[in-house]
Chain A
């Protein structure tokens, strides 16, 4: 009797497990294409704003190169650079960098740099900064990240790439100074990297994306 009950329990479990697995497989089949399209669209959509005011006709996501860590860019992970072209001519480089100097966890963000070394846009992708304070680095919460547009390491000079409280030129965020410092430092490092490695960045062959 006990033995039979073990068998019937096992079979019941197996049948229900099979039904559940098919349910998940079916849902996956129905959603896989949409999910992939969403990911691509999200990437393209989040890259776009950091290239404001530039004319380019190449799909940004198809000219990616990876700079393996350790490198001179901010962050300890591999850095990603998207090259932006108008026809054959390079127009700008879009850096995906991260900094660990923020208040809580890494901040991942985009820095677009035009060929003359000026910032075309900064956009935060991911962060865990304090809501209501450090999170005003998001564009839908405040315009703080827009103040870097058009600036380069010649305007202002590197030592003025700091918040006003530290003798620099850029606005801080009320109640939060750690987050702005981290971001400004990371932008400055990115611009310096671009000045030194500009030609190498555009000479590297593009990676094939699957």
Chain B
């Protein structure tokens, strides 16, 4: 059971990462990752919506006739996002102001509909919640990595404004240099960062595959 769970995490975080491999939900991914805290905030919100929507879709799956399944996904996801938005406004008002329109726009994150259709509508509630957890974590982790990268290079700081999530006085985070390479914070920087992340993942995968290739064949190639 524990080994199975670990394997599913590996799938969500790496092998089938919604952002890196399935290339889903790119609009919020590119738009809000200007800083680590924004990435973390939207990542957590998306994770929560994904788990809850997977649970609800799975719980109602026996009534899901094929013709009405998409409207039902939309209904469920839209309601959950509205709830999350209200919760953000109530408990994380600063972060809500920073993320602005991107909280309501979680509705349009295709990664969530994709998991509802591909997984939750055919599996048990418990298994679907785990799926929402691993896929949501994969998406959130990517948002955090890209957010941290863009903040670090673009502004020369890391973890600034973490108070938006955890309360307290505004903090500037770790300031390494006063000014960064502005381009990374601007929209083109989002595309560059995502491209670098995808390239890095592919490079690591290829290296691992090479390492696993049996030695004799590699030796033969080298001798030729």
Contacts and interface: CB of A to CB of B under 8 A. Distances in A.
B154 A132 contact: yes
A31 B79 contact: no
A136 B28 CA distance: 25
Nearest to B93: A38
A20 B56 CA distance: 10
Interface of A: 5, 8-9, 12-13, 16-17, 20-21, 23-24, 27-28, 30-31, 34-35, 38-39, 42, 130-133, 140
A23 B65 contact: no
A12 B75 contact: no
Contact of B185 (A28, A132, A140): A132
B218 interface: no
B171 to A, nearest CB: 9
B65 A24 contact: no
Contact of A131 (B65, B161, B185): B185
Interface string B55-91: 0000010011101100110011011101100110111
A20 B170 CA distance: 36
Contacts of A140: 161, 170, 172
A34 B82 contact: no
B179 interface: yes
B86 A16 contact: no
Contacts of B25: none
Interface residues of B, number: 32
Query: Would you call the interface of chain B mostly helix, strand, loop, or mixed?
Result: helix
A91 to B, nearest CB: 27
Contacts of A30: 90
Nearest to A20: B79
Nearest to A34: B90
Nearest to B189: A131
B90 A8 contact: no
Cβ-closest 10 pairs across A and B: A20-B79, A31-B90, A34-B90, A27-B83, A38-B93, A132-B182, A31-B86, A131-B185, A9-B68, A35-B89
Interface in B162-213: 170, 172, 179-180, 182, 185-186
Interface centre among A8, A9, A30 (most CB of B within 10 A): A9
Contacts of B90: 30-31, 34-35, 38
18 contacts: A9-B65, A9-B67, A9-B68, A13-B68, A13-B72, A13-B75, A16-B76, A24-B82, A24-B83, A27-B86, A31-B86, A34-B91, A35-B86, A131-B155, A131-B186, A132-B180, A140-B161, A140-B170
B69 to A, nearest CB: 10
B18 interface: no
A21 B67 CA distance: 21
B67 A23 contact: no
Contacts of B63: 12, 16
Contact of A31 (B76, B89, B161): B89
A16 B72 contact: yes
A132 B179 CA distance: 7
A28 B186 CA distance: 35
